Structure 1
């Protein structure tokens, strides 16, 4: 099953690595990587774990944001 969640990857001069935000999962849901590719791989792993954990706990998954849809973080 495919999920279409947002992955934002940005370089951090302060941390000297790529920081990844997963906005549908909350403002504090982040990971990182030394390279863009590593950051993306880490993001995909974290997303898999978040989905798996939510399903196991019977929690609803956040609605994926799609292009053209405003993202509002509560």
Structure 2
């Protein structure tokens, strides 16, 4: 499991749980359950890191709890 901060919330609009990863621009996933949303987030983080490396960009180190979140 990656050590990036995650913000989990429910959205009535999508009828799903959303997980945002603030340290990874645009990194977010959803799921019908919290467990599914978290599992989907792990996939998204892995793919985000892979694409970022392929483009020769720097992958941010996990900082833990963010003060602005």
Q: Same fold (TM over 0.5)?
A: yes
Q: Which category of TM-score, normalised to the shorter sequence, fits these structures?
A: 0.7 to 0.9
Q: 4+ residue stretches of structure 1 with deviation over 6 A? A: none
Q: CA deviation at 1:3?
A: 4.3
1:11-22 paired onto structure 2 within 5 Å: 11-22=10-21
Q: CA deviation at 1:21?
A: 0.6
Q: Which whole-Å CA distance do the structure 2 matches of 1:6 and 1:52 have between them?
A: 18
Q: Deviations over 1:19-66 (max 9, x none)?
A: 11111112x432110111110011000000011111222110123222
TM-score normalized by the length of structure 2: 0.79
Distance of aligned partners of 1:18 and 1:34 in 2 relative to their CA distance in 1, 3 Å threshold: same
CA RMSD of aligned residues (A): 2.1
Q: Is the 8 A contact 1:18 1:33 kept in 2?
A: yes
Unaligned runs of 5+ in 2: none
Match of 1:70 in 2: 67
Unaligned runs of 5+ in 1: none
